[in-house]
Copies of this chain bind each other. A is one copy, B any other.
Amino acid sequence: MTTEEQILQTATKLFLEKGFAMTSTTEIAKEVGCNQALVHYYFRTKENLFMQVFMQKIRLFITAFTEKSAANEDFFERLERRICAHANMMEQNPNLPFLIMNELILNKERRCMIRDYIVENPMIRNIYYEFDKEIKEEIAKGVIRQIDTLDFLLNVLSLNVFIFVSAPIYTDLLDRTDKEKQAYISHRKEVVVKTLLNSLKP
């Protein structure tokens, strides 16, 4: 691995653990084993370095919900598969939802910066459009109750994100072991799927 890749990898790890403000370029360099000046040689500013990490993770976060369905699954099975795919992505990047929320809330510039990427991206628009069509069909068929697609997606996001935001808090607050933390996450994943599917009942 080149030094540049090492810096990017270490930066990703540290930004996820501690956020933008509390991670210094000195610390990144120290963990890579090189000099602090080198971090700036490759990425010029800390902001640049962060945005590279951030946008890559944003892409991952959004595309995770687009899990393709198997041939003969019904609507609820497909839905469950997608909700789980989204949760699994976060399980593999535990602090990711937190980092995204954190930086988007504290920094208005970053909100505006990803607007172009998310809102005006035709691929993402298309993903939404397809899902919206699906939802409306099932409502028309009477399989699920009347609900707005965006509202349902926000419900999924709320419940899924909160699993991983609350897990470290839950663990320390109730003096749990790492194994119990894992059990908490698994359990919440099940509860969230059940809650979401049940909330769609007519």
Residue-wise interface mask of A (105-134) relative to B, using a CB-CB cutoff of 8 A (1 in contact, 0 not)? 110100110110011000000000000000
In the complex this chain forms, how many copies of it are found? 2
Stretch at the interface among A43-51, A68-76, A168-176: A168-176
A19 to B19, alpha carbons, bound, how many Å?
12
How far is the CB of A132 from the nearest CB of chain B, in Å? 16
In chain B, what residue has the closest Cβ to A200?
B198
Contacts of A114 in B (CB 8 A): 173
A162 on the interface (CB 8 Å rule)? yes
Using a CB-CB cutoff of 8 Å, which residues 21-53 of chain A contact chain B? Answer: 21-22
A62 on the interface (CB 8 Å rule)? no
Asked if residues A98 and B105 are in contact (CB atoms below 8 Å), the reply is yes
In chain B, what residue has the closest Cβ to A202?
B198
Stretch at the interface among A4-12, A84-92, A149-157: A149-157
A199 to B159, alpha carbons, bound, how many Å?
13
Asked if residues A105 and B172 are in contact (CB atoms below 8 Å), the reply is no
Contacts of A188 in B (CB 8 A): 151, 154
A183 on the interface (CB 8 Å rule)? no
Asked if residues B105 and A165 are in contact (CB atoms below 8 Å), the reply is yes
Contacts of A19 in B (CB 8 A): 21, 106
A179 on the interface (CB 8 Å rule)? no
A114 to B21, alpha carbons, bound, how many Å?
24
How far is the CB of A188 from the nearest CB of chain B, in Å? 7
A101 to B102, alpha carbons, bound, how many Å?
9
Asked if residues B112 and A105 are in contact (CB atoms below 8 Å), the reply is no
